[in-house]
Structure 1
Amino acid sequence: MTLATTGAVLGLLGGFGLVLIVAGVRGRRITLDERLAPALRHRDRTSVLLRVAEVRPGRFGSVERLVTPWVSDLATWFERLGSGRADVQRRLDRAGSADTVEQFRARQLVWSALGLAGGLATAVLLAATRGSSVVVLGALVLLAGASAFVACDLRLSSAASRREERMLSEFPTIAELLALAVTAGEGPVQALERVSTTARGELSSEFGAMLAEVRAGAPIVGALGAMADRTGLPALTRFAEGVAVALERGTPLAEVLRAQAQDVRESGRRALMEAGGKKEIAMLVPVVFLILPITVVFAVFPSLATLQIGL
């Protein structure tokens, strides 16, 4: 290779490298949009009515997605064993869950499969160690699967009950905030919007969902009735009726809200007293059957020992 050829190759390589460096520098240049993107909040411009709801994966996300296509066929069989579709949907609404009935059935199926697997493992262990009968081991496996099925259903009911208790505990404060906003001159809808944006909790989220229905075109009275039906709490039903009457007839709302808050506090106090009374009765069981017999034994045993020594 001559000196001229070597120089030409080196010049070509040098020019190609220079082109790569310039392209890399231009590719790394940050535009104005990229500089402002971290400081701006992304906003979906799609209409809320046309937006596709996002399906959140459950605790067993991949397994639930695989099982969900067959859950619709098994729903009728599940409803024969447990609660119906309407009851499950109502409890999902009361629990504030975004899951569908099919997702809940898939979760029940996964729980039942895990219960059957645990029962089968226990049955194999008992058969290998103690040699139990096949009938007893089969009954154990079926009992484990049925227990897991019922436990999933009871878990949903427990979640709904806990959410209702939190909503009842939040209601007096929310009602007084609404009464204060109405007294300050705001309308019922504006007061609901203010409370739903400033407060945090289960009840404020329900108010937010109700106001979203109102913004979508539903009448305020119908949205309040739907919220009352969705929660199923008597206090919220009275609240919805009071707000509806105030909107239709123009009656004062502040005093009604304060009275409802006081009624909820009184009902909570009565429930607490009733729970305390039940606990007192439950405490009699260990006192009568455990502490009292031991006390009698300690009181009588020395006398019996003394009599035996004297005899």
Structure 2
Amino acid sequence: MKASILIPILFAGSGAIWISFGANPKLEFSKRIAKSKDRTSTANKLLEIGKDNPKDFEIYRSRQILLSALIGFAALLLPVFLGKPPAIGLLFAIFAASLTFVAIDQDLSKRVKKQRIMIDAEFPAVIEMYSLALSAGETPLVAMERIATSANGTLAKEFMRVVEQVRNGKAFHLALDEMGRGLDSLLIRRFVDSLIIATLRGAPLTEVLQRHAQEAREAQRNRVMGAAAKAEISMMVPVVFLILPISILFALWPSLANLNLISGV
């Protein structure tokens, strides 16, 4: 009975794929991925984590769809092998495939959020190094190249990308603007705007960068204080709902026991 259900499912799935994608399924699959509606938002997220190749979106989406399809197919077969009705297997497969698809998107969003936190944490130290290099007489591009080659971290890699774009013939302010748009960070955006305006108009950079470094330090301190406040509240939950009731119980138990003895007498 199981084989009689499984074999038609396999043939039906193969036929559906053949009808949908034609004689060249790989090419048709890539075309449909390239035309997906959420390409821009997903591509921007991939760009933030350093995947700037145009093929990275297709690779990411292909893996996401294939993994969801495999898990959905496995979820479809499981109820069949257990002797359950095929309708249950179909519902279970749709649920498992959808959950896998959403989970992969959520994982990408978490990686992007972690990347933004790392960049905001690195920004004060990097901007101070950049300000010192400019104070020593280096040009903005040379100072950025020095930081990119000597420092470690995500922001240093972004600086190196700007330097490489300038070497390839792109204007410095355009490369900076692209970096600011690619990184969804208010601190980076303000820094880039100030640097572009100062570079184009010949304004002094050292004071502007020092002010940005001070603001970044204050923003980082506020984030740490906010995280500490949230941690303090979360630590109060086991104290209030676990330790405190047990302490009250131990304090009241002797009195309750004595009252029971008195009432028994």
Q: Is the 8 A contact 1:71 1:102 kept in 2?
A: no
Q: Give me the whole-angstrom Cα distance separating, in 2, the residues matched to 1:68 and 1:104.
A: 15
Tell me the TM-score normalised to structure 2 length.
0.80
Change (3 A) 1:68 1:213: farther
Aligned partner letter, 1:213: Q
Q: Give me the whole-angstrom Cα distance separating, in 1, the residues matched to 2:75 and 2:114.
A: 30
- Which residue in 1 is equivalent to 2:171? 219
Change (3 A) 1:68 1:239: farther
Change (3 A) 1:180 1:282: same
Paired residue for 1:294, among 243, 246, 249? 246
Change (3 A) 1:71 1:302: farther
- The structural deviation recorded for 1:217 is 1.7
| RMSD of aligned Cα (Å) | 2.4
- The structural deviation recorded for 1:185 is 0.8
The answer to which structure has the higher helix fraction is: 2
- The structural deviation recorded for 1:294 is 2.0
Kindly tell me the number of residue pairs found equivalent between the two proteins: 238
- Which residue in 2 is equivalent to 1:87? 41
Paired residue for 1:115, among 48, 60, 71? 71
Paired residue for 1:272, among 213, 221, 224? 224
Gaps of 5+ in 2: 1-23
Q: Is the 8 A contact 1:96 1:160 kept in 2?
A: no
Q: Give me the whole-angstrom Cα distance separating, in 1, the residues matched to 2:202 and 2:181.
A: 24
Gaps of 5+ in 1: 1-65
Paired residue for 1:171, among 101, 123, 135? 123
Change (3 A) 1:148 1:306: same
SS in structure 2 at match of 1:211 = helix
Paired residue for 1:72, among 21, 30, 53? 30
> CA deviation digits over 1:9-60, x for unaligned, max 9?
xxxxxxxxxxxxxxxxxxxxxxxxxxxxxxxxxxxxxxxxxxxxxxxxxxxx
- The structural deviation recorded for 1:95 is 1.2
Q: Give me the whole-angstrom Cα distance separating, in 2, the residues matched to 1:67 and 1:181.
A: 54
- Which residue in 1 is equivalent to 2:110? 158
SS in structure 1 at match of 2:138 = coil
- Which residue in 1 is equivalent to 2:58? 102
- The structural deviation recorded for 1:262 is 1.7
- The structural deviation recorded for 1:183 is 0.7
Tell me the TM-score normalised to structure 1 length.
0.69
- The structural deviation recorded for 1:77 is 9.0
Q: Give me the whole-angstrom Cα distance separating, in 1, the residues matched to 2:78 and 2:253.
A: 46
- The structural deviation recorded for 1:282 is 2.4
Identity across aligned pairs (percent)?
35
Aligned partner letter, 2:39: R
Q: Give me the whole-angstrom Cα distance separating, in 2, the residues matched to 1:303 and 1:205.
A: 68
Say which one has the larger Rg.
1
Change (3 A) 1:75 1:136: same
